[in-house]
Amino acid sequence: MQLHSLAFDVSHTLAGGLVLISFLMLYQDRLYSLLNVFALHAVVLALSVAWQAFIQDAPHLYVTAAIALVFKAIIIPVALHRIVQRLGIHRDIEAAVGIGPTMLAGMGLVALSMVLMLRVTPEADPLAREDLAFALSVVLLGLLVMVTRRNAVSQVVGFMSLENGLVLAATGAKGMPLVVEISVAFSILIAFIVIGIFLFRIRERFDSVDVSTLDDFRGERR
């Protein structure tokens, strides 16, 4: 019992920490700090997955954790850092909506996902249940990051953090095969490369990575 409660406590702390870091992401208005927080997000995710691997005795999850650590906590943030540097947009402060309303919206989303998840999964394993609730919050918060930012780079970050939420859900649910994990990871990587290429194209075309210029180009006004 004691071990179970310790297992529960640690995974609770890690998953809760992930939600908290998603909020930190919402709070950032500088690109570099956003990237740093994203890297932290990935590290906590990797820890959480590794802990799940330990308590579920599922060695393949260690692979997932390693993928998360290497790709999301190191490669992608570093790459994005360099992109930001090369684009010269590291001084940009951007948020389409103010931080206060965004935070409130985020709290609303978390409350919503808790209510939903706890209501639809009454007889599931507490750990999985909680993981699912937190994962849904992380996904929704990632989406929120995407819709409240104008800059393409921060939209990428939002997208990646959303994917972190998916991984959290998958590991908590004890069922996702390794193949799927790896393919998800690679599709993310490919998506990242595609988006990266697009970033440079947008930049060449419009001298800015503010996606609202795309709307202008289409002849729409926000």
Which residues here bind another protein, judged by CB under 8 A? 5-6, 8-10, 12-13, 16-17, 19-20, 23, 27, 99-101, 103, 106-107, 110-111, 114-115, 118-119, 126, 129-130, 133-134
**Cα(84)–Cα(79) distance, integer angstroms:** 9
Q: Are 48 and 69 in contact (CB under 8 A)?
A: no
Query: CB of residue 102 vs another protein: minimum separation in angstroms?
Result: 10
Q: Between 13 and 213, name the residue whose CB sits nearer to another protein.
A: 13
Q: Between 8 and 206, name the residue whose CB sits nearer to another protein.
A: 8
The closest alpha carbon to 198, from 159, 164, 142, 165, belongs to 159
Q: Between 78 and 115, name the residue whose CB sits nearer to another protein.
A: 115
Query: CB of residue 111 vs another protein: minimum separation in angstroms?
Result: 5
Lookup result for tokens 């001298």: 207
Query: CB of residue 159 vs another protein: minimum separation in angstroms?
Result: 23
**Cα(103)–Cα(117) distance, integer angstroms:** 21
Q: Between 33 and 85, name the residue whose CB sits nearer to another protein.
A: 33
Amino acid at position 59, single letter: P
Lookup result for tokens 């409660």: 5
According to DSSP, residue 221 is labeled: -
